Structure formats: C-alpha cells, structure tokens
Amino acid sequence: MKKYKCGHPSCNKNPSFGESGTRRAQFCAEHAPEGLVDVSRHRCKHPGCVVSPSFGANPSTRPEFCITHARKGMENLSKKECAEKGCINRAHYAEQGTRRPKFCSKHAKVNMIDVHSKRCCHEGCTKKAAFGMSTIRRTEFCSRHAKGEMVNLHTKICIHPQCTKRPGFAVDGSKQAAYCSLHKEKGMIVNVYRNVCRHPGCKTTASYGGELEIRPEVCAIHAKPGMVNIRVRRRNALAGISHGDSGKRVAKRPRHPCDVPSVSGPVKEELCEGRRQEGENQ
C-alpha cells in the first residue's frame, strides 16, 4: 500500500491538509500553505464550516456539528466526562500506564497523571509537554527538560517586547493578564492567575486542601483540621522527598502557633495553653 507523505521537500510526515472541498491531503500541519484546511477529519455539517464536529443528538450517533452550530439539546459526544458522581468536567487524569482518562483535575487521585495531554519526550518523564521551538509551534518537552531556546507554547507570555515570562498582572477588573511582574504598569492588580483562598474576603494564596486533593483551596490561616499543604507536597514529590521528610523545609514563623497550621503535615487541632484558657473563660 502506497503511503502518502507531506508535499514539502524532505518531510516524511503524513499529510492532513488540503484544499477546502476536497478529500486529498497534500501537506502536514507544519508545512500547510495559508488557506488549506484539515481534510483528514470530518467537518461540521453547517454550510461553509470547516471545524471538526463534536456535538450530536444521541450518544449512539456520530458527531455532526461543532460547538458554534450545535442544535439545541445536542450533547458533546467527544467529551469524556469525569467519573466522579455529579461532575460534568472533562476527564484528563488516570493511573500511569493507561491511556483512558477517568477523572478531571479536581477529582483526580494523588498518584494519577494527565493522560489526555502529550507527554514530555525525555525518557522516563511523565510530565505534560509544554515547551518547544517558537518557529515550529510543536510541544516536545516539559519545563525541566526543555532545550536552550525553547519557549512555553501553552502559556500566554508578557506583551512587553522580547519578554517570554508569563503575565500575571492586569488592569483592575480584567481577568486577561498582560504583563509580568517586571514589566507591569502602574495601577495594575496583583497576579490574576494566582489560586486565591476560598474563604470570603481573603486574598491570600491558597496552599492547603484535603489529603486526597491535588489543588489547594484555602490559605494556611483558614485551613481546616486534617488538611495538608498541597504545594509543599507537590514540591517534595518532584524532589523525591517522602511525605514524612517534608519537615526538612523551614517554615516562616507564624503570628501565633494556633493560627497557622504545620507547613508539611496535617493541620493540628491542639491549642496552646493560652488559647485553651481563653476558650475556657468564654
């Protein structure tokens, strides 16, 4: 069987792009000239639409329309939902070694990894690939194994000329970050990407959550008994430090021993002598 290749000289990739209205693929995504479309996939049935369909009327049928042209009552048939009861988020996480996602990022278990996204090309690395050459726009490595001039292709960068840092500052009232901390303009608000504590009125960075959670929900001040510092646990896991050794990290001195829980371990329920007496006198 003859195997077609991209029409670009010295390229051995399978072609997927061709002229609209035809089924003949001539170029790969990297070398496709402007105006060509992906003809290797089915198209939305709406006249003139070239987007791949994902919505249909019945789970037993094939997708017919894209999200823009989907009819009322249609469902996303290409979306694998989280296995957690009542959750409709897209599943991305599963045990290492399997390719079928089971849970979303919120409900993923501690040892699960993102199996939906492309993995880092470095041997033995299971992290998500986000870095690549800006001229090719193809992700190949994670941040740890990225080569010299590779940039993060998944993350928006600061709009300051020649700056490749992630933006986190925006005009007050906007959620679209434009500048990094170095190039932020006067009057811009603090990092809009920051995971803020869920406690009403608190704007401190969240670092604590349930022992089986992978995302922090509250800050150290508002952490509940039994919660652990997810950020420290994550850093220790990357460094190969067991949970029991996490005490090697030095914590900042708290304002009061009963106000701030342990940096590495579960939140302690014990009160100091002074706080215990205060509670008895109330």
Average pLDDT of the residues in 67-80 = 80
- In this prediction, residue 252 has a pLDDT band, given cuts at 50, 70 and 90, of very low
Q: For 171-226, how does the pLDDT look when each residue is reduced to its tens digit (9 = 90+)?
A: 766 667 788 888 888 877 666 556 788 899 887 889 998 887 878 889 999 999 98
Residue 169 token pair: 């500052």
pLDDT at 249: 33
CA dist 99 and 105 (Å) reads 15
The sign of the CA dihedral 264, 269, 273, 277 is positive
pLDDT digits (tens, 9 = 90+) for 7-59: 888 888 888 888 877 778 888 888 888 888 777 777 888 887 877 788 887 66
Each domain of the chain, given as residue ranges in start order, spans: 159-192, 208-281
